[in-house]
Amino acid sequence: MEVPKKIESKQLENLNQRIEDILLKEPQTEIECVAFIENANIIVKDAQALNLEGTKEVLRLQGYIAFIYCDLGKYDITEKKIYDILGAIRQQKLEHLEARCSLLLSAIYFEQGKFDETIKIGTKGIELYLKLKKPQNLAALFNNVAGAYLELGHYERALSFYYQALENSKQYGDATILGTISYNIIHCLLLQKRYDIVEKEFERFKRRIADNDQDKNMLVWLYISYCEFYYKTTNTKKTLEYAEKLRVLSKETKGHLHIVYAAWHNARIKNKLKFHKEAFVFALRILEYSLKSKSITKKLLAYLAIGSILCDDAENQDYYWKQSRLLDEFEGETIRVLKKAERLVEELNFTDKKIYVYNLLEKFYVQNKDFEKAYVYSVKTRQIEAYIYDIEKNDLVFRLQEEFNVQENQRKIDFQEQLLVHQKEINASLEFFAYRASHDMREPLKNIYSFAKILQNEREQVGEEDYKEILGFIIDCSNRLLVLTKDLLEYSRLGRIVSSTKIVPLKNIIQAVKSNLSEQINEVNAILKLEEEMPMIYVHESLLIQLFQNLISNALKFRNKDIQTIIEVSFFQEKDTVTYFVKDNGIGIEENKLKRIFEPFARLHHRKAYEGSGIGLTSCQKIVEQYGGQIWAESTIEKGSSFYFTFPNNQEEKTNENINCK
Ligand code: ADP
């Protein structure tokens, strides 16, 4: 039956009045929230019965219900409720409401550790608010997106978003999150180890607090920043002082996040000072709060705090396990806590916190004398460091390109100059990375140390056989160290090209490689197939020799021992590029590992099966990228692998030009 127009408008008016009434008083306590949801749901149902559910007011109410669910920590329901109405909101172009939903979703995705989603929905929200010219919530959105970038290891990008968040919160007088953002900036700078800027940021932060009448919410964040800064710069006394200040103040402000941070910093510093039991009380507090707020991010903090204490005070295990029922799931085993943290960081890609977790695992395995496993984690740490470094590098280039687009005038000259400067910086820090990594190879050293200690202290008890075996271990470890340091050194030298570019026939390069590897080639009686005609290339000869030598020696190393080893070196030309390849009929590589093998220190086999450091292919990649090319592998297990790399075709042109000039 059609509802007459007059009645319909009366009903609509009535409904709108009810919505206005219910939205008048914001529910505060949990009971009020639950009651609000119940009443609001009745109104929504009534609206549906009257066929009026798509109106702006009803959608607003539904949005509000979702927001309240979020306050209650029921993220799944919040998400579902928002997605239920998002279609209608978009259809009716209720952009303000859509923007608020984006803000909320970005916040809950962040708490759940869904960082890619946070960035996606947050960026959309930013666009909407900018378009609406209603900038009140922009700061929070910029802050959420920045947070997600930070957790993914994009520090440079995170920082740029944090500064935008700061600008907005200052400009529009949004002091509530001004403190959070100021802290986040310092946190990010500390992760980047940019201590010189950190000091200036502290000054600015203090001025902001003064401008805001010493706002306590801001003060809490200043104390958190101090705790972190002093902890990183190993000033124990100051860390302790601020952790205590923080504890007291967070009791006053009662902010959930404040309390969690206070507990985290207190747990960390007390544990360091060996007041493990006191630390544990704080660690448990984090766990309780994380469960209350259903925040995965905080849960991870809790596992890290608990895991550190359990590792550092292993003798008192039993005491800790009895402290709370919340620990029952770990069945009294430290490793279960650490493994849970590991799963979280890996599944959700908490990039920076991976380092923290791997360090803990390494420590745990060293304590348990499982050096093999400890070594795996020390390598993983270095891989993450390299990965973060890589992101930084790409972000730098990304930022440069952005600037490049804006500065239309003089763009060419400016860009090239800047790129050159940054390239130098990149090379310098790459060398630094290799330098550090080589100093970081503590694992084999630790092993040597432990074995030597056994010989020193327990010489009497060690029989002749064991003695020989231990010496064997020491020699093994030393050998490994020698190989690693040699490879790293070569890798670090790649940045400093000593020879100059010249035109060389590819044939000569392969000839040089053949002669360098003649011993290995003859030993296995391998066949090296080459093209009759090989091109000339414009390169640094020594780099290209190294590139081919790494690939061919890998082909020899990973050969199929049951058949005749055949290695083919060839190339094909396309419009813009020349692709060279080294193909073997060796053991092959699993499809899903084909990308990983180019990462520093990545190796697919046990050391006992194949010697190596995992730097060879990383070096190849670096060489190829210096010429603006790409490198990749294709492979079938047990059939063989092919390594391809491209050089831009202008290499060829240059070659021809030069030949013509001759
Ligand atoms: P490594 O020093 O271990 O040889 P690389 O960086 O050269 O280090 O290679 C990384 C890993 O990639 C190797 O440990 C090996 O597992 C795999 N790999 C490289 N080349 C080949 C190949 N031709 N066939 C099969 N596996 C290979």
Residue 537, classed as helix, strand or coil, is: strand
Q: Residue whose CA is closest, atom 19 of ligand 1?
A: 554
Which sequence spans correspond to the domains of the chain?
Answer: 388-495, 497-660
Residue 544's closest CA among 578, 584, 585, 594?
578
> What is the distance in A from the centroid of ligand 1 to the CA of 297?
36
pTM over 0.75: no
> What is the distance in A from the centroid of ligand 1 to the CA of 593?
11
User: Predicted confidence band at 403 (pLDDT cuts at 50, 70, 90)?
Assistant: low
pLDDT in tens, 156-182: 889 999 999 988 887 776 667 889 999
CA-640 nearest atom, ligand 1: 24
pLDDT in tens, 58-112: 998 998 898 888 877 788 888 898 988 888 888 888 888 898 899 989 988 988 8
Mean pLDDT of 551-568: 96
Mean pLDDT of 627-652: 87
> What is the distance in A from the centroid of ligand 1 to the CA of 597?
7
pLDDT at 617 over 90: yes
Mean pLDDT of 590-606: 86
pLDDT in tens, 45-59: 998 888 887 888 899
> What is the distance in A from the centroid of ligand 1 to the CA of 598?
9
Q: Are 577 and 647 in contact (CB under 8 A)?
A: yes
Residue 148's closest CA among 138, 135, 161, 163?
161
What tokens were used for 503?
């035109």
User: Predicted confidence band at 193 (pLDDT cuts at 50, 70, 90)?
Assistant: confident
Kindly report the average pLDDT of the chain as a whole number. 85
> What is the distance in A from the centroid of ligand 1 to the CA of 632?
13
pLDDT at 174: 66
Contacts of 175 (CB under 8 A, 6+ apart): 169, 212, 215, 218
Count of other CB atoms within 10 angstroms of residue 599: 17
Mean pLDDT of 507-518: 90
| Strands of 392-495, DSSP E | none
Superfamily name and number for 497-660: Histidine kinase-like ATPase, C-terminal domain (3.30.565.10)
Residue 626's closest CA among 530, 513, 560, 538?
538
Rounded to 10 degrees, the C-alpha dihedral 283/288/292/294 comes to: 50
pLDDT in tens, 100-126: 899 989 988 988 889 999 999 999 999
User: Ligand 1: residues whose CB is within 6 Å?
Assistant: 550, 554-555, 558, 584, 586-587, 589, 597, 602-605, 612-618, 641
Q: Are 246 and 219 in contact (CB under 8 A)?
A: no
pLDDT at 264: 95
- What are the φ/ψ torsions at residue 56 (nearest 5 degrees)? -55, -45
DSSP of 117-128: HHHHHHHHHHHH
What tokens were used for 31?
């009971």
> What is the distance in A from the centroid of ligand 1 to the CA of 498?
27
Ligand 1 pocket: which of 483, 597, 638, 639 to mutate (most atoms <8 Å of CB)? 597
**CATH number of the domain at 388-495, out of 1.10.287.130, 3.40.50.10310, 3.30.565.10, 1.10.3720.10?**
1.10.287.130
| Strands of 47-202, DSSP E | none
Q: Are 452 and 474 in contact (CB under 8 A)?
A: yes
CA-617 nearest atom, ligand 1: 6
